[in-house]
Amino acid sequence: MLSKPFEGKRIVITGGTGSMGQVLIRRLLTGEMGQPAKIIVLSRDEAKQHYMRVEYQQRVAATDEIIYRNFQNALTFWIGDVRDYGSVARVLREADVVVNAAALKQVPTCEYFPFEAVRTNIEGAENIVRAIQEHNLPVETVVGVSTDKACKPVNTMGMTKAIQERIFVQGNMRCPWTRFVCVRYGNVLASRGSVIPLFHEQIRSGGPITITTTDMTRFLLSLDDAVDTVFAAVRNGGRGETFVPRAPAANIVDIANALIGDRNIALKVTGIRPGEKIHEIMVSEEEAYRTVERGNYYGILPMLPEVLGEGSWTPALKAEYSSADSVMTPAETLELLRSRNLLLDDDPSADPAKQQLGAAVKELLR
């Protein structure tokens, strides 16, 4: 595989104003995977696009005149919706690579509005495959961003993401000139809606910290780890493979105690929410026999024989891959959170993801 697979490529990121999308864009602009010719953010939230545009033009504030030269920049913003086939078909005419990060990802939201989750998580994926197929678009690679909740799903969010994975895997048959791969990872530390920001807020308010059950474990992945998984899939993923990171896991109580430190903050057990799992599972026992090693990742081979092709492999797993398998000690959990600048006393400005706009990036965004 090429060491700089994005060199000179036009990259479309659906849902690019989200937590992962923003870190992905910062990393792409550093040129570590090659310098893209253009990065196009497709989303329906004009406010988030505006604030991203202001940030990347290194302004404190700006009025909306800064949009006028939008399409002449290396980083451009398109208003559109992955649910809308016309929006998708138009933007993909500009794409060599697509990263589908658009999603309804909040478990309770998807439970109360299940068809909305279907429209974004399932129809959005279908619109991407359909647009490439019907218009013979020369898209080289599509990366579908999935979740551990798609593995043995028990909630609407996971069910819709599981179908999304299947749509992208089967897309390799509908569009044989395009490589469709997926990435699957767990709860991302410090992303919107995740437990770390909630715990921070509860600590600042004097507590208590609420946990649903003392048995709960979670994989600990940063936003940069999530982006690394996307990059690994682009570099090494075969058609129809789903990449899963090998990640450390911790007990939620240990995470809470590490964040509390010496503060006089109580823990309150509230009970498991509807659709919530006690442990994250990223590879099921049914998938284990077709899971192979891919460096620091596992690759789940496609189920469809037409996509899998001929050949044999040695399974990397004999059972499911769960956050309950190898839980860090409290001391190890504390050290990991400290190393990721996630303890409440840490300086937020030390976040390395926010320090990656160098001279080359400034030049690109003139």
Q: What count of residues does the chain have?
A: 366
Please, which residues have CB within 8 angstroms of residue 162's CB and are 6 or more apart in sequence?
Answer: 146, 150, 151, 153
DSSP at 120: I
Q: How far apart are CA 266 and CA 252, in angstroms?
A: 14
For each of the domains in the chain, give its residue range(s) and CATH number, in order of start: 10-364 (3.40.50.720)
Q: What is the pLDDT of residue 277?
A: 85
pLDDT greater at residue 366 or residue 229 = 229
Edge-to-edge order in the sheet of strand 10-14: 75-79, 38-43, 10-14, 97-100, 141-147, 179-185, 242-245, 297-300, 291-294
Report the mean per-residue pLDDT for the chain: 87
Q: What is the pLDDT of residue 193?
A: 63
For residue 102, the one-letter residue type is A
Q: What is the pLDDT of residue 73?
A: 67
Mean pLDDT of 310-328: 93
Residue 359 has pLDDT above 50, yes or no: no
Phi and psi at residue 115, to the nearest 5°: -70, -30
Mean pLDDT of 88-104: 96
For residue 267, give the 3-state DSSP assignment.
strand
Angle between helices 156-174 and 124-134 (to 10 degrees): 10
Q: Which residues are catalytic?
A: 149
Mean pLDDT of 316-344: 92
Give the model's confidence band at 357: pLDDT under 50 very low, under 70 low, under 90 confident, else very high: very low
Radius of gyration of the chain (CA): 20
Residue 168 has pLDDT above 90, yes or no: yes
Q: What is the pLDDT of residue 274?
A: 74
Give the model's confidence band at 56: pLDDT under 50 very low, under 70 low, under 90 confident, else very high: confident
Q: How far apart are CA 147 and CA 251, in angstroms?
A: 19
- Cβ burial of 55 (10 Å; 0-12, 13-18, 19+) is middle
Residue 361 has pLDDT above 50, yes or no: no
- Strands 291-294 and 297-300 come out as antiparallel
Using an 8 Å Cβ cutoff, are 265 and 206 in contact?
yes
Rounded percentage of the chain residues whose pLDDT exceeds 70: 88
6-52: pLDDT as tens digits: 999 999 999 999 889 999 999 998 899 999 999 999 999 888 888 88
Residue 347 has pLDDT above 50, yes or no: no
Using an 8 Å Cβ cutoff, are 190 and 200 in contact?
no
